[in-house]
Amino acid sequence: MYKLARLVALSSVAFAVAAGPSRAADEAPEVAAMRAAVKEFEQTLGGALKKELAERGPEGAIEVCRDLAPKVASELSRRNGWRIARVSVRTRNPLLGSPDAYEQGVLADFERRIAGGEAPAAVESAATVTEPAGKVTRYMRAIGIAPMCVTCHGAPENIPAGVKAALDAAYPHDAARGYSPGQLRGAFTVKGPVAP
Task: Give per-residue pLDDT as tens, 53-78.
Answer: 999 999 888 988 899 999 999 999 99
Q: Are 111 and 79 a contacting pair, CB within 8 Å?
A: no
Q: In whole angstroms, give the CA distance from residue 191 to residue 23.
A: 17
pTM for this entry:
0.84
Please report the DSSP string for 37-52 in residue order. Answer: HHHHHHHHHHHHHHHH
Q: What pLDDT score was predicted for residue 60?
A: 85
pLDDT range class, residue 9, cuts 50, 70, 90: very low
Domain residue spans in the chain? 2-193
Please report the DSSP string for 141-154 in residue order. Answer: EEEE--GGGHHHHS
Is pLDDT at 25 greater than 80 in this prediction?
no
Q: What pLDDT score was predicted for residue 27?
A: 59
Task: List the beta bridge partners of residue 136.
Answer: 129, 193
Q: Show the CA angle centred on residue 57, arms to residues 158 and 161, nearest 5°.
A: 35
Q: In whole angstroms, give the CA distance from residue 47 to residue 26.
A: 28
